[in-house]
Amino acid sequence: MHFIVISDNMAKIILLGAGSTASNYIWMFDELENTPDVLGNNGFSRNEKMEILFFDENRFESTYMDRPILKEWKQVASMVREQGYKLVNTVSHTQVKEKFYLKLSELGLLENLLNLNFSAQSNMTHNGLVMGIGCTIWHHTSFQPFVKLGKYVTISTSCVIGQEVEIGDFSSITAGGLIAGAAKIGSRCYVGAGTTIVNNVTIGDDVFVTAGSVVGRDIPDGMKVIGNPCRFFKWEEPTKKSLRPNGKVLSSAPDSGVGLRDRIKKTISKAFNVPLIEMGDVDQSPETIGNWDSFTHISMITFLEAEFNIRIDDSEIGELLNISSIEKTIRKKFLNKCNDSAGR
């Protein structure tokens, strides 16, 4: 068992999620010994030590960063009730956060879910900040007065949140986000790194904003937002008007063989902002591209969805391991769309 030694008392924590983001939480807890203002701000004593575990249903490994991974919710419930563990969300995926919240509510564990504030603003309640349960505020982030955060909101590193901003339940604002005064962001929204949202803009629920976008107008529910100035689009099912007599989709239908692969490579090169020459054979994984990370992977998904007018489900994202698997997924979705439309 790994301990962070701070004193004779014990703070027991289960981190919900064992992905790359969770490693940042470990790093921050490791730093607590040298940041007494952050310690006190989160209810920890300088005379405590910490025992940290992970929970992740989807990892095959039994440990992560030399700490045990719990695989079942009943294990989490048992350790909370019998051993006094507290819970910390580490997940930024908006739908997973909502799933976790509903499960914790079902198990009666919400009161054990901590808010964490790693910001240098050690006490922000004086400026009217209101936070729902399960929120995390990362370091170097600043808040102007009268900000309202819903439950399970994550505000990442070096963000600036303007006065009277409202951010809905389960939303995530990633590194370097600038949310100007009186902007309103709905529930389950993901705002990519370095995004600027102009003052008084209203963003609906379930909106995904790609990194570096500048949002200067209202965005309806369910949109994907790209660019500066931003543009946005919504998923559309093919209609009979978009089909040839033989049932094939017109403009956005996949080409055969090399033609489709070329479109996929061009789309990925745009998403990763790399020359097309870096895209290799059909077995190349996006992870082999120099600037790949989880954010650019989601951006790649968004670009593919826009290019081929398809919807890639959350459960399919992890299956897109190389160009060949992306091609197979696109073909399957177009076949399903054509069959559905032909039957109307």
Is the predicted pLDDT of residue 125 greater than 60, yes or no?
Answer: no
N-term to C-term CA, the chain: 59
Check residue 247 and give left, alpha or beta (phi > 0: left; psi -120 to 50: alpha).
left
239 pLDDT tier (thresholds 50, 70, 90)? very low
What's the whole-number average pLDDT of the chain?
78
Q: Which domains does the chain have, with CATH numbers?
A: 3-113 (3.40.50.20), 115-234 (2.160.10.10), 240-342 (1.10.1200.10)
Closest CA to 336 of 242, 217, 237, 214: 237
Is the predicted pLDDT of residue 276 greater than 50, yes or no?
Answer: yes
Rounded to the nearest 10 degrees, how much is the dihedral formed by the CA atoms of 239, 245, 251, 255? 120
Percent of the chain scored above 70 by pLDDT? 74
Residue range 299-331, pLDDT digits in tens? 788 788 888 888 887 677 777 778 888 888 888
Residue range 22-73, pLDDT digits in tens? 888 888 777 665 554 444 445 554 445 678 999 998 888 899 888 999 999 9
β-bridge pairing 148-149 and 48-55:
unpaired
